[in-house]
Amino acid sequence: MKIRPEPGLTFDDVLLVPKRSSIQSRTAVNTASELVPGIRLALPIISANMDTVTEAEMAIAMARAGGIGILHRFMSIAAQADLVRQVKRSESFVVENPVTVPPDIPLREARRQMQEFGVGGVVVVDENGKLLGMVTSRDVLLSPDDDVPVHKVMTPRARLVVASHEEHLESARDILYRHRIEKLPLVDAEDHLVGLITAKDIVKLQKYPQATKDAKGRLRVGAAIGVRPEDLERAAACVEAGVDVLVLDVAHGHADHALEMLRKIKREFPEVPLIGGNVATPEGVRDMAETGVDAVKVGVGAGSICITRIVTGFGVPQLSAILECAREAQRIGLPLIADGGIRTSGDITKALAAGASTVMLGSLLAGTDESPGVAVVRQGRRYKVVRGMASLTANVARKRIGRDEELSQEDWEKVVPEGVEAMVPYRGAVRDILYQLVGGLRSGMSYAGARTIPELWERAEFIRITPAGQRESAPHDVNVM
């Protein structure tokens, strides 16, 4: 048995000491950071792979704002891959697989497909994929005859403006403007349809200049997978759907089966960035690094909805975990994600100052419009539900995936939860929360005189505080309104 002489510290145990700063405006601060080598985030913030936090809507909002979302895995493989596809399709410079229809289907069917896929037009192609024409909402809106075949109402190929599949953003925008059109089909040398550029997507590109995007202009998204053998199929389906990063989702990542799984995933999908976790010690970071992961996630028992420390007695206070793991991660050159326990923008600044490259947020984002679930009203206030992924109800929900029959009494009783179900105040749109959080981070970085996150690592100095110091840090001796 060993006992460490120094107590473990968490965010409230410390403050950052102000440093001489030449930063005159918060806008001079650059919050960009590396998620994994090759993927930079304008905002160093990741939404957690929890079923009350990240599905497609959250992932889209996070990526648009410059962060990224990790889709949770508590659904069938097909459903998770579908969510990946939803995010990847949500916006792009080029729609690679536009909705197409054959020329002889009735107009009603074209209308149905436009509604089903939420698009304002379908491209008409022959059986070899050659472009024949286009039908847009203007053609279907007031048509007196729903049975007419689409080739009778479409804009035929001869009258369509098209471009080559190598079109660049600027010239595409120019063509759309010159012809006052909204859709530009892309064709190869034999006139096969190979893509579509829409004015709507170009407008979105301008609207979210910081968005986290891949080389094709599609939003980036991550997906969580577990350690079971079938999770290799899950990984394969998500990769096939275009996922940008895989995240191993295990509470105790410093375990042989988790490390083995990381090795297997790296072997199978060497080109897809992989995040390993969770660990809370430098030894854990080192062993993860040996599996070939591209980043490591740190945090055991720190989450707002976790009871792991109470149920098992294990964990490391989060600031100490980040500080100790970051030394090792930076020595190896592995980005570190601080996961769990973050409640304020000040906590984000502390986590990054301690050596993290990015932070993962759960309950702080669970109250937003974009998190799964609806808001409920309790005593006149609106709340949303957040639950630990090892909570009783999350465990039971997981057992139900792919099963038709009701769960037995035993199914419920056999669960030993390590998380709780809870309510968080409803907080509106995620971009508003992110604005506040990043505003606080920028201000924090200016107190450190740090223009970048690596500068923050260098310049940060923590001071331990007492309970009296904590009391002084919060509003005191006034009645807060």
Report the interface residues with ligand XMP, using CB under 6 A.
48, 50, 251, 278, 299, 301, 303-306, 308, 339-342, 360-364, 388-391, 418-419
- Decide whether 121 or 299 has the Cβ nearer to ligand XMP: 299
Nearest alpha-carbon partner for 341 in 328, 327, 322, 355: 322
Distances 135 to 122, 151, 246, 384 between C-alpha atoms, Å: 5, 9, 38, 42
Q: Of all residues in the chain, what percent are helix, strand and coil, respectively (each to 5)?
A: 40, 20, 40
Active-site residue, selected from the candidate residues 46, 219, 306, 450: 306
CB 331 within 8 A of CB 291: no
Give every CB contact of residue 226 below 8 A, 6+ residues apart in sequence. 73, 234, 248, 249, 250
- Cα separation, 57 vs 78, whole angstroms: 17
Q: Calculate the dihedral angle through the C-alpha atoms of 330, 332, 338, 344, rounding to the nearest 10 degrees.
A: 10
Pairing relation of β-strands 155-156 and 14-16?
A: unpaired
Closest CB 48 distance from ligand XMP, rounded Å: 3
- Decide whether 125 or 390 has the Cβ nearer to ligand XMP: 390
- Decide whether 14 or 196 has the Cβ nearer to ligand XMP: 14
Length of the chain: 481
Is 306 catalytic? The answer is yes
Closest CB 343 distance from ligand XMP, rounded Å: 7
Closest CB 45 distance from ligand XMP, rounded Å: 11
- Cα separation, 98 vs 89, whole angstroms: 10
Tell me the two tokens of residue 195: 């893509």
The kind and range of the H/E element at 393 are helix 392-400
Nearest alpha-carbon partner for 356 in 428, 447, 285, 425: 285
Closest CB 15 distance from ligand XMP, rounded Å: 20
- Decide whether 212 or 363 has the Cβ nearer to ligand XMP: 363
CB 93 within 8 A of CB 176: no
Closest CB 311 distance from ligand XMP, rounded Å: 8
Q: Helices H, strands E: what count in the chain?
A: 19, 22
- Decide whether 119 or 366 has the Cβ nearer to ligand XMP: 366
DSSP 3-state assignment of 123? strand
- Decide whether 33 or 318 has the Cβ nearer to ligand XMP: 318
- Decide whether 351 or 448 has the Cβ nearer to ligand XMP: 351
Q: Which residue is nearest to ligand XMP (CB)?
A: 419
- Decide whether 207 or 414 has the Cβ nearer to ligand XMP: 414
Closest CB 375 distance from ligand XMP, rounded Å: 18
CB 439 within 8 A of CB 346: no
Within 10 angstroms of residue 244's Cβ, the number of other Cβ atoms is: 26
Beta-ladder partners of 15: 463
Closest CB 401 distance from ligand XMP, rounded Å: 17
CB 462 within 8 A of CB 353: yes
Nearest alpha-carbon partner for 308 in 417, 168, 436: 417
Closest CB 340 distance from ligand XMP, rounded Å: 4
DSSP 3-state assignment of 281? coil
Catalytic residues: 306
